[in-house]
Amino acid sequence: MTPRLSRATLAALADGRGHAVPGPAVDPASTTVGLVHLGLGAFHRAHQAVYTEDAAAAAGDTGWGILGVTQRSARVAEHLAPQDGLYGVLTKGATHTSLRLIGSLRDVAFPGERTPHVLRTIAAPSTHVVTLTVTEKGYRRRPDGLPDLTDPDLGSDVAALAAEIGGAPPEQPARSPIGLLVRGLALRHRQDAGPLTVVCCDNLAENGRVVGALVHELLAAVPHAQSLAQWVRASVAFPSTMVDRIVPATTDAHRTEATALLGLRDEGLVVGEPFTQWVVEDTFAGPRPAWERAGATLTADVAPFERAKLRVLNASHSTLAYLGALRGYATIAEAVADPELEAIVRALVDEDVLPTLEAPEGLDLVRYRDDVLDRFANPNTGHTTVQVAMDGSAKLPQRLLGTVRDRLAAGAVPTAAAATLAAWMSYVHATTHGGLEVAGRKVSLDDPLADALASAADGPVDGLVDRLLAVREVFGADLAASSELRSAVRAHVRTLALV
Ligand code: CS2
């Protein structure tokens, strides 16, 4: 059996016949933790961890090791801990595959009983940055943006926070990412460990501002948190960022390919396309990795980049995911190769999205659209329609409904954007009514609001659009009341042959 990747097996390999895989670029043994990451999924490992490693290597910094925290599944920690945090990034281009190793992950934790360790690391004076990729739904926000205090996980963290502000030791297992973050901030405040920067790397519009507001709203709901809230206002920065790299789920085929290249088995392997981009608002409260030396753009204003990326790339992605899955395509590459679907996506971008955007400096939006479609067409990432289709109720408000609102406000009917909503509604209907079959596999709805959506989708099909538009968590009261939007979505649902 091929040995497992770890510091020891890697060293043995290098001493012996060696291997052709580069990295890690930093020496994991001499790196200390300076950054805590919440949400140790594949995306972080293929994106920010790579930038952090390259920045540390370029600047000769040894203080930017990462403590990666995974709350969704203990498996990630189980995969990475025996590998000393080492893992590979397999880059799948249209014509070229490469593998490199990353060593910047110094420690991995599934909070549970390691909660005190995570909180103490957030509070350590040597930690300066907390990054987050916990997905749109991970923030437990209500549709009005306030923290959902009825969420039992968040509720449990708020109770722990109140006790900790009163002097209790930080021991109760953390259950929500935002609760964990705020409890870490509370300990840092208590220990007077200095300023901190919280960098949201999720696909949320104005993500830094959103997370900052969420933290403050949460503190406003906790007794005796005034001095903590004041400290957060003065000492914690929440820059916005735009993150971009297509990172499909790792498959056994990817693992086999990586094993052949490395000569070691890697249970932490992640996969990405060659393209990668990170635009970060340069408003840090303290030190940060020299990410600009790794190719990131540090700028005063991220909003135009973020908006263009969410509205062009992510909205097109969702459109291809829903329409593609409905047509039985397994991958985004197959979906975009269908000329009818490509035309629908181009219409979305040209007719509804571009009129709502201001081009970020140096970016030609038409070219950006074409580049995005080329990236989707890469046949080797294997990014599935079903993966992108997941969590639509949390994703669409961020990537599509801003466009819809802006178009309606400008007096235009967002006919093309309505096609994406119709595709989503048809997908919700199909996946909750006996399941949808995609490439021989039954697909059911994977969404934080799955139950509510399933009951809304139930009933006479000609009322489907009305019932789904009435789901306030997704559409708010304004879009539910828009008769223009309703008719446009209905017309598309009809052409999708549902009604
Ligand atoms: C995708 C994104 O799964 C999805 O919803 O649209 O994860 C997308 O691949 C990334 O945002 C690309 O940067």
Q: Is 52 in the pocket of ligand 1 (CB under 6 A)?
A: no
Which residue's entry shows tokens 């700028």?
Answer: 299
Burial of 252: CB neighbours in 10 Å, binned 0-12, 13-18, 19+: exposed
Closest atom of ligand 1 relative to the 391 alpha carbon: 5
Burial of 14: CB neighbours in 10 Å, binned 0-12, 13-18, 19+: exposed
Q: Whose CA is nearest to atom 8 of ligand 1?
A: 246
Q: What is the model's pLDDT at position 17?
A: 64
Closest atom of ligand 1 relative to the 388 alpha carbon: 3
Q: Is 385 in the pocket of ligand 1 (CB under 6 A)?
A: no
Q: Is 395 in the pocket of ligand 1 (CB under 6 A)?
A: yes
Would you say residue 498 has pLDDT above 70? no
Would you say residue 210 has pLDDT above 90? yes
* Residue 113 to residue 111: CA distance in whole angstroms: 6
3-state SS class at 231: helix
Pick the CATH number of 7-299 from 3.90.79.10, 3.60.21.10, 3.40.50.720, 3.40.50.1100: 3.40.50.720
Lowest-confidence segment of 107-111, 192-196, 320-324 by average pLDDT: 107-111
- When pLDDT is cut at 50, 70 and 90, the band that residue 167 belongs to is very high
The mean pLDDT of 241-264, rounded to a whole number, is 96
CA of 41 from ligand 1 middle (Å) equals 13
Q: Whose CA is nearest to atom 10 of ligand 1?
A: 246
Q: Which of 33, 7, 250 is nearest to 128 (CA)?
A: 33
Q: What is the model's pLDDT at position 18?
A: 67
Contacts 24+ apart (CB under 8 A), 186-191: 186/161, 186/225, 186/228, 187/119, 187/120, 187/122, 187/123, 188/122, 188/123, 189/227, 189/228, 189/231, 189/232, 189/235, 190/123, 190/164, 191/123
Would you say residue 497 has pLDDT above 90? no
The mean pLDDT of 154-182, rounded to a whole number, is 95
Q: Whose CA is nearest to atom 6 of ligand 1?
A: 314
State pTM to two decimals.
Answer: 0.96
What residue ranges do the domains of the chain occupy? 7-299, 303-495
Q: Is 246 in the pocket of ligand 1 (CB under 6 A)?
A: yes
| Pair of tokens at residue 55 | 């920045």
Closest atom of ligand 1 relative to the 244 alpha carbon: 13
H helices within 191-266, ranges in order?
Answer: 207-220, 226-235, 252-262
CA of 405 from ligand 1 middle (Å) equals 22
Q: Is 42 in the pocket of ligand 1 (CB under 6 A)?
A: no
Q: Whose CA is nearest to atom 3 of ligand 1?
A: 388
Q: Whose CA is nearest to atom 11 of ligand 1?
A: 244
CA of 400 from ligand 1 middle (Å) equals 13
Mean pLDDT estimate for the chain:
95
Give 214-236 pLDDT, tens digit per residue: 999 999 999 999 999 999 999 99
Give 20-60 pLDDT, tens digit per residue: 888 899 988 889 999 999 999 999 999 999 999 999 999 99
Q: Is 245 in the pocket of ligand 1 (CB under 6 A)?
A: yes
Give 73-108 pLDDT, tens digit per residue: 788 988 999 999 999 999 999 999 999 999 999 999
Give 373-391 pLDDT, tens digit per residue: 999 999 999 999 999 999 9
Percentage of the residues of the chain whose pLDDT score is greater than 70 = 99
Q: What is the model's pLDDT at position 434?
A: 83
CA of 374 from ligand 1 middle (Å) equals 15
Sign of dihedral through CA atoms 407, 409, 413, 415?
A: positive
CA of 314 from ligand 1 middle (Å) equals 6
Q: How many residues are given for the chain?
A: 499
Q: Is 314 in the pocket of ligand 1 (CB under 6 A)?
A: yes
Q: What is the model's pLDDT at position 499?
A: 36
CA of 375 from ligand 1 middle (Å) equals 12
Q: What is the model's pLDDT at position 13?
A: 84
Residue 110 falls in which region: left (phi positive, over 0), alpha (psi -120 to 50) or beta: beta
Give 278-330 pLDDT, tens digit per residue: 999 999 999 999 999 999 999 999 999 999 999 999 999 999 999 999 999 99
Q: Is 48 in the pocket of ligand 1 (CB under 6 A)?
A: no
Q: What is the model's pLDDT at position 7?
A: 93
Closest atom of ligand 1 relative to the 383 alpha carbon: 9
Q: Is 388 in the pocket of ligand 1 (CB under 6 A)?
A: yes
Q: What is the model's pLDDT at position 495?
A: 86
Q: Is 384 in the pocket of ligand 1 (CB under 6 A)?
A: no
Q: Is 276 in the pocket of ligand 1 (CB under 6 A)?
A: no
3-state SS class at 103: coil
Would you say residue 72 has pLDDT above 80? no
Superfamily holding 303-495: N-(1-d-carboxylethyl)-l-norvaline Dehydrogenase; domain 2 (1.10.1040.10)
Kindly provide the ipTM of the predicted complex, given to two decimals. Answer: 0.99
The mean pLDDT of 399-406, rounded to a whole number, is 98
The mean pLDDT of 404-416, rounded to a whole number, is 98
CB atoms within 10 A of CB 262: 22
Q: Is 399 in the pocket of ligand 1 (CB under 6 A)?
A: no
Closest atom of ligand 1 relative to the 387 alpha carbon: 3
Q: Whose CA is nearest to atom 13 of ligand 1?
A: 244
Q: Is 317 in the pocket of ligand 1 (CB under 6 A)?
A: yes
- When pLDDT is cut at 50, 70 and 90, the band that residue 188 belongs to is very high
3-state helix, strand, coil in the chain (%, to 5): 55, 15, 35
State the helix-helix crossing angle for 339-347 and 365-377, rounded to 10 degrees. 150
